Amino acid sequence: MEENQIVRLAQQGDQEAFSMLVQAYRNRVFGLAVNVVHNRETADDLAQEIFLKAYLSLSRFRYESEFGTWLYQIAMNHIRDYLRKHKKEKNDLRLEDIPEPGLSEKETSLQLAELQEEEKRKRLLRQKLEEMPEKYRLILSLRDIQGLSYEEIGKILKLSPGTVDSRLHRARRLLRKKLAPYLSREGGQS
């Protein structure tokens, strides 16, 4: 069944059809949220709220764009509202980061050192992304993390493909510039 047919059924109150849409977009909406707020629990809550908003607004979907583009616009607006209202929580330690039992002391120590170094890099990247203007953070997330096309990003952010391209280029260049001093210290290329 075509997506537009599923959307029409969902607009008519078919719960199963809306569930199909949620299944199709759940990972992408969650991924967008987690890449912006950096907290899995908060991202999960945001994703649920986004789908609730989409459900309540479904009657206003006019097929002027793809359903996914419309949903991403709802997601972007909801996440922006959340960021305005809340200070971002930092939760760097995850259950999967805890070393496995049964490892030798040396192996555990090495594993912990690797995890700490990886977390340090992630924190640095998040910090540098947070220092960037929101328009650059969003475009990097949509393209480099979510993998959306320039056309899809243009529809979501209401930009021309040329503007998407130039903004993405500037965002990547700015991020490289912010990370360059750290990369050269660790033996990376600047």
Question: Which DSSP letter does residue 95 get?
Answer: G
Residue 60 contacts by C-beta under 8 Å, 6 or more apart in sequence?
Answer: none
pLDDT in tens, the chain (190 residues): 899 999 999 999 999 999 999 999 999 899 888 888 878 899 999 999 999 999 999 999 998 888 988 998 899 889 888 888 875 444 443 444 434 444 445 555 566 667 677 778 878 887 888 888 888 988 888 888 888 889 889 988 889 989 999 999 999 999 999 888 877 655 544 4
- Domain ranges, ordered by start, for the chain: 3-85, 106-185
46 by Cβ neighbours in 10 Å (0-12 / 13-18 / 19+) ranks as: buried
**CA distances (Å), 21 to each of 28, 32, 51, 151, in order?**
12, 16, 9, 21
Chosen CATH of 3-85 out of 3.40.50.460, 1.10.10.10, 1.10.1740.10, 2.40.30.10: 1.10.1740.10
Q: What is the pLDDT of residue 24?
A: 93
- pTM metric for this prediction: 0.61
Q: How many CB atoms lie under 10 A from the CB of residue 9?
A: 17
How far apart CA 69 and CA 86 sit, in angstroms, is 26
How far apart CA 10 and CA 5 sit, in angstroms, is 9
Task: Reply yes or no on domain 106-185 having CATH 1.10.10.10.
Answer: yes
Q: What is the pLDDT of residue 74?
A: 92
